[in-house]
Chain A
């Protein structure tokens, strides 16, 4: 028993060493290519001045960060509404009772229509159209109605993700739960949804990251957020570096977001699972 344990340990160690070597070598080659080859390309200098101009970057960055605060706000206040609406739509579509048929039909129509039209159109239609019906300020604010457009659109996508998760939970879980005397609603809330949501975290993160970027579309109906500010800077200085700076700001948020979620999911899995097959 001892012998085979150390034989496997030796093999693992050698294998790890080898993979580190390969990883290190390939990374070194990649870095070398970027650092040595790219600058030697013929028009690199012009591209660098146009897209990677350090002065422009440093000048725009604080302004962009400031404008990004609005994007973050819109993102944060939209998410809870999206999740609630998406859960409502998903559970409605999943319901089996005939009494709820009109609601089910409404849910299907809602998902089909919202998903079938580009988000940008909804921003215009709802962001200008609804206030145009004659509201007073502040109720007609483009921030409110732009966010409504985002919530309605994104909830339709997210509801389908939830629905996939719900349907992936085996029927036997419902059977067990109902046999214990829990109602349909309690079954959904304590047994099905927790499992469903855990299963669809990756595609859910997809939609969340996508939302974070689509928030910039609200700029079309007036508010100055990061994309608009980058555009203003670009026009003013005739340089694309502000867009590169904006991209960096976006990545500063989205990358930590996705890495943290992956880590959370992995931690949960480690806590609740048995062995993992290699």
Chain B
């Protein structure tokens, strides 16, 4: 059984159809990259998976259970499926440590001391232990994004959704974030990323999906998809990527 299954998912915003019958199976421990032009629906797809956006039609299954039932309590789902955003979205009025421990203490009911200890452990693991009492505004972009990842991990999710997490970063900071993601993959976390980092997609993902106009137009092994795209749209897209020097 797949960890996450999407069956014919449709989503529109008003009259604009963003996802048009998307189906996808993600196995536990897999790293799936979603690539494609802007507006192809990558972000929306991720936001549908963790129920930030309700879908119009279709099903989303987590470990075989339909989590897309309208009116379902989303909170338990979101503790199992975490998300990291392009603009980090750290809470500016809280320190790094408070950012990380907020959900474990309030939503999961952990003891403050336990949560703090676990948070420091995670920060240590990703080289940010000395920033525990700093405030988000005092950190660089790369540090903020790593804190955002740690914050998502503190909830101990089974799946992590990463929505273009390096797009807002300077090139030299991208590396440190991607290192974190690689480490997560190695530790067996199920990952779904929307990304423009083709190198990462090629080297670290198990599956690459190309989205265009709300459909998955191509999917498969990264090397196949990226070197030998079958569909014309995918070819055009990858040509442009290569020309811009990002592959």
Contact = CB atoms under 8 A, between A and B. Distances in A.
A touches B in complex, CB < 8 A: yes
Interface of A: 172-173, 175-183, 186, 190-191, 194-195, 198, 271-274
A272 B79 contact: no
Q: Which of B85, B91, B108, B137 has the most CB of A within 10 A?
A: B91
Nearest to A183: B75
B92 A179 contact: no
B82 to A, nearest CB: 7
B42 to A, nearest CB: 16
A198 B106 CA distance: 22
Given A173-B89, A173-B91, A178 B138 contact: no
Nearest to A274: B137
7 contacts: A172-B87, A180-B82, A181-B76, A181-B78, A195-B92, A273-B137, A274-B137
B119 to A, nearest CB: 13
Given A175-B89, A179-B85, A274-B138, 12 more contacts: A176-B85, A176-B91, A176-B148, A177-B91, A178-B52, A179-B82, A180-B155, A181-B79, A181-B103, A183-B75, A198-B93, A272-B135
Contacts of B52: 175, 178-179
B117 interface: no
Contacts of A274: 137-138
Residue in A180, A186, A190 whose Cβ sees the most chain B Cβ within 10 Å: A180
A181 B108 contact: yes
Contacts of B152: 179-180
A181 B137 contact: no
A182 B107 contact: yes
A5 B152 CA distance: 42
Nearest to A182: B107
B60 to A, nearest CB: 15
Contact of B103 (A172, A173, A182, A194): A182
Interface residues of B, number: 29
Contacts of A195: 91-93
A274 B137 CA distance: 5
Contacts of B50: 179
Which 9 pairs across A and B sit closest by C-beta, in order of nearness?
A: A176-B89, A180-B103, A181-B79, A179-B83, A272-B135, A181-B107, A274-B137, A181-B78, A273-B137
Nearest to B91: A191
A172 B92 contact: no
B92 A181 contact: no
B202 interface: no
A110 B106 CA distance: 33
Contact of A172 (B76, B85, B138): B85
Contacts of B72: none
A85 B215 CA distance: 49
Contacts of A190: 102, 106
A178 B74 contact: yes
Contact of B135 (A172, A178, A271): A271
B11 interface: no
B75 A181 contact: yes
B146 interface: no
A178 B81 CA distance: 11
Nearest to A172: B89
B174 to A, nearest CB: 21
A277 to B, nearest CB: 13
Nearest to B139: A274
Interface in B77-111: 78-79, 82-83, 85, 87, 89-93, 102-103, 106-108
A182 B135 contact: no
Interface in B107-153: 107-108, 135, 137-138, 148, 151-152
Contact of B85 (A175, A186, A273): A175
Nearest to B47: A175
Contacts of A182: 75, 102-103, 106-107
B150 to A, nearest CB: 12
A141 B114 CA distance: 52
Please indicate which of the listed interface residues A176, A177, A195, A272 has the most CB atoms of chain B within 10 Å of its own CB.
A176
A191 B102 CA distance: 9
B135 A181 contact: no
Contacts of B107: 180-183, 186
A274 B108 CA distance: 31
Given A272-B93, A272-B137, A180 B85 contact: no
A175 B148 CA distance: 13
A179 B78 contact: yes
Nearest to A197: B93
